[in-house]
Amino acid sequence: MQLASGLLPHSTAIEEKQEARSKLQIAKNFIMKKIILPTLLFLMALSACNDKNKSTYALIETDYGNIKVLLYDDTPLHQANFVKLANEGFYDGLLFHRIIQGFMMQGGDPDSREATPNRPFGSGGPGYQIPAEFGHLHYKGALAAARNGNPEKKSSGSQFYIVQGRPVQDFALKAQENKFNFTYNEAQRAKYAEVGGTPMLDMDYTVFGEVVEGIEVVDEICSVAKNPSLGDRPIEDVKMKISIVK
């Protein structure tokens, strides 16, 4: 009995279909391996980088304007402590109690919260110190931790300063190199020449952040009238409020 043509596929037609399916699967695999998978991996890596690279900022509010600072991730002890104190409201109402034009502005002494006239500050703190985390330099706008004369150079648990500084000449860098037996690289030398700072504090005090907005506020505060007999305390109180922001 003869079968009507087309009711059963011919063997060559079966082979052609199988070959077509095979080619389609190869194409799908190629697209998955060469396009979709790399794209997914890239997006996952980008997402991870974004999470990892989320920077931590603090806003320092004053009557002279606001100062926004970046808190460095590679000084984790100082970053975590500053964030903790700011979130607790520790700094709110404290003074910038020591200001020297061309040098820096210092604050964070809890004794200054209820400040009375004609009283110097600078010895108060939260009752602990933070191990030194050296590495960053004292360019203009650097946020750094104050400390007493302890031999381990541990930082105050709360007091900090912001560098105003002044123009820096290379002989000042060479003096610091000789003192601590290290070498500034060309980029560091160039930045000091461009923006200035206080290199005499490098490798002695921990820098844990930098001003990213409001450096003009730092300049203005550093220009206020001070009383040298009261440890360079401003004649008019300069209060602060600090919060952690994005």
Q: What is the pLDDT of residues 178-203, one digit of tens each?
A: 999 999 999 999 999 999 999 999 99
pLDDT (0 to 100) of residue 16: 60
Over 70: is that where the pLDDT of 132 sits? yes
Residue 38 lies in a domain: yes
Asked if 142 and 162 touch (Cβ cutoff 8 Å), the reply is yes
Q: What integer is the mean pLDDT of 66-90?
A: 98
Q: What's the start-to-end Cα distance of the chain, in Å?
A: 84
pTM over 0.75: yes
d(CA 223, CA 161): 15
Phi, psi of 223 (to 5 degrees): -95, 0
Over 80: is that where the pLDDT of 104 sits? yes
Residues 40 and 79 in one domain: no
Residues 46 and 106 in one domain: no
Residue 129 lies in a domain: yes
Residue 97 lies in a domain: yes
Neighbouring-strand partners of residue 241: 61
Q: What is the CATH number of the domain that holds 94?
A: 2.40.100.10
d(CA 172, CA 184): 11
Residue range of the domain that includes 29: 9-53
pLDDT (0 to 100) of residue 181: 94
Asked if 153 and 147 touch (Cβ cutoff 8 Å), the reply is yes
pLDDT (0 to 100) of residue 81: 98
Residues 47 and 118 in one domain: no
Residue 205 lies in a domain: yes
Q: Give 27's pLDDT tier (boundaries 50, 70, 90).
A: low
Percentage of the chain modeled with pLDDT above 70: 78
**How many domains does the structure of the chain reveal?**
2
Over 60: is that where the pLDDT of 52 sits? no
Residue 183 lies in a domain: yes
Residue 106 lies in a domain: yes
d(CA 117, CA 102): 25
pLDDT (0 to 100) of residue 6: 40
